[in-house]
């Protein structure tokens, strides 16, 4: 009997140890399971971040390509505008020269004619003045009418109108 009691006690101790081991193993399993779940969640977050980063990289690549295309277009526009500017500058210089020539011709005409002679001899001097103005008009340089050259041309038109007005006054 004593042997049986010892045997039972040993078995009870063994059962207690096994229960304790079972509890430890269950705890470890739960910890591993929760750790595994955390790692899965972390993995999902990282995968989501990787996906988002790839999408952002794709969007940035598209934006970079669009910016590069726009930059190229703007550079082409700049080149075109620079060429147009050079052309307009040349037209403006030519128009300014023409205005200077016209002003010099008007000044010469006004200096060469004596106001009293003009009033006294209307017929011949009007014809001479008109011939000189026509001579100046026939020597006008030709250039392309662009936006920049219109203003000087308008001024020149005003000068021509002024000459015509002066001639009409002389006739009266």
Tens of pLDDT, residue by residue over 140-152, are: 444 444 444 444 4
Domain that holds residue 98: 2-171
Tens of pLDDT along 125-143? 556 656 655 655 554 444 4
**Considering the entire predicted model, what is its pTM?**
0.42
Confidence of residue 112 (pLDDT cuts 50, 70, 90): confident
Among residues 112, 111, 122, the alpha carbon closest in space to that of 171 is found at 122
Among residues 162, 144, 165, the alpha carbon closest in space to that of 153 is found at 144
Domain count, the chain: 1
């Amino acid at each position: 009997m004593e042997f049986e009691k010892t045997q039972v006690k040993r078995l009870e101790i063994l059962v207690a140890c096994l229960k304790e081991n079972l509890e430890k193993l269950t705890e470890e399993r739960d910890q591993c399971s929760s750790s595994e779940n955390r790692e899965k969640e972390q993995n999902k977050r990282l995968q989501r971040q990787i996906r988002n980063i790839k999408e952002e990289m794709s969007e940035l690549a598209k934006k970079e390509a669009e910016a590069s295309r726009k930059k190229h277009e703007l550079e082409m526009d700049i080149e075109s505008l620079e060429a147009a500017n050079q052309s307009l500058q040349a037209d403006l210089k030519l128009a300014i020269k023409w205005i200077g020539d016209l002003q010099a011709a008007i000044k010469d005409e006004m200096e060469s004619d004596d106001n009293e002679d003009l009033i006294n001899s209307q017929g011949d001097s009007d014809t001479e003045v008109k011939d000189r103005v026509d001579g100046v008009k026939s020597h006008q340089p030709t250039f392309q009418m662009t936006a920049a050259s219109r203003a000087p041309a308008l001024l020149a038109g005003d000068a021509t109108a002024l000459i015509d007005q002066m001639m009409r006054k002389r006739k009266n």
